[in-house]
Amino acid sequence: MVGGAVYTAVAFLQRSETLVTEGCKVPGADEDLATDQAGYAALISAIAVRRGLPARAASIALATSLQESKLRNIGHGDEAGPDSRGLFQQRPSQGWGTEAEVMDPYHATNAFYDALVKIPGYESLPITAAAQEVQRSAYPGAYAQHEPTARAFASALTGQSPQSLDCTLRAPDAAGDPAAVQQRLTSAFGALTAGTEGRTLTVQAQDTRAWAWAVAQWAVANAKSLSITAVAVDGQTWTRSGHNGWQPGDAPAGQVSITVAAEPAK
């Protein structure tokens, strides 16, 4: 009888998991992002933080990528640009790099920012105008429709809006690796001080509270691909299983703790 009850409970939990609609949201955005889109949004925002750019730069980049590729690293172009590729649909024939380079999200994002920072006063331009200065699109007004979503996600993912990004996810289907989390963090944010104990990676915050929140919300945005189960920072904790967003916790100031899943039960 006990075995049957346990089986029933496990089956119920498994069915409940399949009903979870995965995605990431931020207050003020017009749309939620799928988990792969959120991961790219976090990378674009992290590179802005790494370069010391304002959140406005990330907003412009996100609005551009939402319009050009729906925030996905696509390997084909369209009639307007048959050789366009990547997050920003950059064209090798127009000097954005080789095809392999524009398909590299790190290269593509830095190339976008390299062009953006050359525009005088881009920070005070309307987002759609700044995006058009970089992209020279045949549809210059199209970026405007993405401004609310781009601003909201950029503010969260650059740490300007703490505890605002939340992702609803199913249970992990594979174990996580703290070393893989650290490698991806370093690729996005640059050199950092971190240590691992068991399944938890602890990152020492740099000079600002916003930086810590940028790292923490980057971890939430990448929780699906990296099998992250919990993130703690600045007295707040996000847990994958709770589906309750950020909740008060005992995380000390000055560090971000990221915990990954153990091997799932068979």
Q: Summarize the confidence of residues 193-206 as an average pLDDT.
A: 95
Q: Alpha carbon of 76 to those of 66, 83, 86: distances in Å?
A: 16, 7, 8
User: b or e along 169-195 (b: 16 or more beta carbons within 10 Å of the residue's beta carbon)?
Assistant: beebeeebbbeebbebbeebbeebebe
Residue 188: partners with Cβ closer than 8 Å, 6 or more residues away: 42, 43, 46, 47, 50, 218
Output phi, psi for 58, to 5 deg: -65, -40
- Tell me the average pLDDT of the chain: 90
* 3-state secondary structure (DSSP) of residue 15: helix
pLDDT at 242: 82
CB atoms within 10 A of CB 105: 20
Check: CB of residue 85 under 8 Å from CB of residue 68: no
Q: Summarize the confidence of residues 58-73 as an average pLDDT.
A: 96
Check: CB of residue 81 under 8 Å from CB of residue 98: no
**Cross-strand bridge partners of residue 255:** 204
Using a CB cutoff of 8 Å and minimum separation of 24, what contacts does 205-209 make? Answer: 205/253, 205/254, 205/255, 205/256, 208/159, 209/159, 209/162, 209/234, 209/253
Range name among 9-13, 14-18, 57-61, 248-252 with the lowest pLDDT average: 9-13
Q: Token pair for residue 32?
A: 């939620």
d(CA 29, CA 127): 15
Range name among 19-23, 177-181, 256-260 with the lowest pLDDT average: 19-23
CB atoms within 10 A of CB 31: 15
Residue 172 confidence (pLDDT) above 90: yes
Residue 66 confidence (pLDDT) above 90: yes
